[in-house]
Chains A and B, each alone.
Chain A
Amino acid sequence: MAAIATPRIGVFATRAHRQEFIAMLVLRAASTFVVVAISALFLYLAIEGTKLFTVDHVSPFQFLFSPVFNPDANKPGSLVFIVGSLSVTLFAVLVGGPFGIAVGVFLAELAPPRMVAAMKPAIEVLVGIPSVVYGWIGLTLLVPLIRTVTGSNGFGLLAAGTVLSVMILPTVITLSEDAMRTVPNSLREGSLAMGATRWQTISRVLLPAAASGLTVAVILGIARAIGETLAVQLVIGNAAVLPQGLLGATAALPTEIVIDMAGAQQGSLLEHALFSMAFLLLLIAMALILAVRFALRKRA
């Protein structure tokens, strides 16, 4: 009696099985597509991004460390853009990081339900505001403000960094709130039961316990900042010079790409240099993902 080996209700069961099989196939195909997409992207940019070295025989050292960017004279040194990107990102993380973590901690530990209900949609909206609108606000509000206060022309590192610090806020807030919420309640109660104040509990027990999650929040904030293009382009000043202090105009990798790509001949040294910059950005993004994995593994 092998009733279970062959489906009991004949035709219907087999149809269900056929559906199961097809569903599995489709779902797997979609998942494979994700793998194919990132692989193709990486491969393509790796090929295009190294043509500067293989076709034009520029040394990677020159590309990375020379501040002279003059593609017409075979001098695609990108130090300015690399330093520019790193400094605006650093600025954004130094300002937006602690600010975002503070709000995340607030939401997880202190906020009354009504405040959470008000903040959540607000953060959603902040995520949704297009980067070009952030840039526009920076351009028409922040830059004139800096100009009036400092007497500089307003465009530069300070403006770009400030805009970016606001833009990374939602990422940092959401992720640090999540990190705080994953701390087991027993730790919280344990500390409070010993007579610690709420702030002592947060600063000495919860923050250390959530350290890896908070690290991830900051790293993903960095990832958001370093690739941001238009908001930065509108306010950074776009001068291919190393930043002269906080008020100095400079340029970043994404802003240089977006400005010069339009005029770059296919196959030219300039185009190759821009693809090298894009590949460099991709490598940085990948490195940040590996850093996230590393931070999370330490916790486990």
Chain B
Amino acid sequence: MRDAVLTLEIARAKSARGVRHRRFVDRSATTLLWCAALAVLALLTLFVGYILYLGAPAISWQFLTSPPSEVSAGGGIGPEIYNSFYILGLTLLFTVPVAVAAGIYLQEYARPGAFRTLVQFSAESLATVPSIVMGLFGLLVFVYLLRWRFSAIGGALTLTILNLPALMRVTQEALFSVPQTYREASMALGATRWGTIWRIVLPSAVGALTTGVILIAGRIFGETAALIYTAGVSVAAGKGAYDLNPFRPAETLAVHVWYTHAESVVPDVARIGNGSALVLLVMVLLFNVVARIVGRSLTRRFTGR
């Protein structure tokens, strides 16, 4: 049956009409694929342009620095921006060491076997846990079990677990890109495995690793669902809003956008949402640019090029 079809195709291909037809299909398909790709670029441009258009009028120094308002118009997002960075910093502090260590273990140490399979399967499973489910887990552990109430640290620890798999993956990919010959050369000189990793492999991987970490930092910055029931939806009043104390509720900017729209009674919800969305988008773009620049310069510095 297949053979028959094939023969038929060959016969048709040989006829001029067949060739024209095949060329037409090929061209149409190529055009279609090009359109799909261009559509992605167009979508992104649309989003960025639209958010800029919406948000620009809302942005002012006062908006970026003043505290939110409970009932009246004119609230700002100062404490929320601070909290977003604060929780991001805390999260990276916890998640980077653990994820890099686990990534090194999987990529450089673990032999195929039950333990490696278990760790890999755990990481994959963790990676697909929806962030709202992770948020409820954080609620159970940090709010109910440890009785921290809604707190910056609870939110950060929840995000730590949420982002472990992505960071492990980044670590593994960065290590994978280091040529095996470096490891062999170092081991052949009598270096231990850890000595090789510390002096040769990590310095060669640090550029790619940093790029990956900063890109993930961008995602942590905008995370919402996991934070609503762990870090909470409120900020302290007055000076307390900029507290370094991790055991206080800490609404982030992304949570603020959602919460203002869903629950709050202020009349200028649209203005706050538009302005905050713009700030969030600019931060994402910034993280992307910084990631590339820092990654490149670190690679240059650590590999002597």
Residues in chain A within 8 A of chain B (CB atoms): 16-17, 19-20, 23-24, 26-35, 37-41, 44-45, 48, 99, 102-103, 105-107, 110-111, 115, 118-119, 121-133, 135-137, 139-141, 166, 169, 173, 195, 197-200, 202-203, 220, 223, 226-230, 233-234, 254, 257-259, 261-262, 266, 274-275, 278, 281-282, 285-286, 288-289, 292-293
Contact = CB atoms under 8 A, between A and B. Distances in A.
B136 A261 contact: yes
B281 interface: yes
Interface in B92-148: 97-99, 101-102, 104-106, 109-110, 115, 118-119, 121-126, 128-134, 136-137, 139-141, 144
A28 to B, nearest CB: 6
Given A230-B258, A234-B261, A130 B222 contact: yes
Interface residues of B, number: 91
Interface stretch (B20-28, B57-65, B75-83, B178-186): B20-28
A278 B131 CA distance: 10
A41 to B, nearest CB: 5
B132 A130 contact: no
19 contacts: A23-B193, A30-B101, A35-B122, A37-B126, A38-B125, A45-B136, A111-B37, A123-B40, A124-B215, A127-B215, A129-B47, A130-B221, A131-B224, A132-B280, A136-B261, A229-B225, A230-B258, A281-B132, A292-B124
- Max chain B Cβ within 10 angstroms of own Cβ: one of A129, A136, A275: A136
B105 A27 contact: yes
Contacts of B192: 16-17, 19-20
Contacts of A198: 26, 30
Contact of A103 (B40, B105, B121, B137): B40
A37 to B, nearest CB: 5
B228 to A, nearest CB: 6
B195 interface: yes
Contact of B219 (A34, A127, A169, A293): A127
Given A20-B192, A27-B102, A133-B51, A275 B136 contact: yes
A35 B299 CA distance: 32
Given A23-B194, A129-B47, A130-B224, A99 B36 contact: yes
Interface of B: 13, 22-23, 25-26, 29-30, 32-34, 36-37, 39-41, 43-44, 47, 50-51, 54, 97-99, 101-102, 104-106, 109-110, 115, 118-119, 121-126, 128-134, 136-137, 139-141, 144, 161, 164-165, 168, 192-195, 197-198, 215, 218-219, 221-225, 228-229, 254-255, 257-258, 261-263, 270, 273-274, 277, 280-281, 284-285, 287-288, 292
Contacts of B133: 41, 45, 227, 278, 281-282, 285
Given A129-B47, A130-B223, A38 B126 contact: yes
A275 B277 CA distance: 30
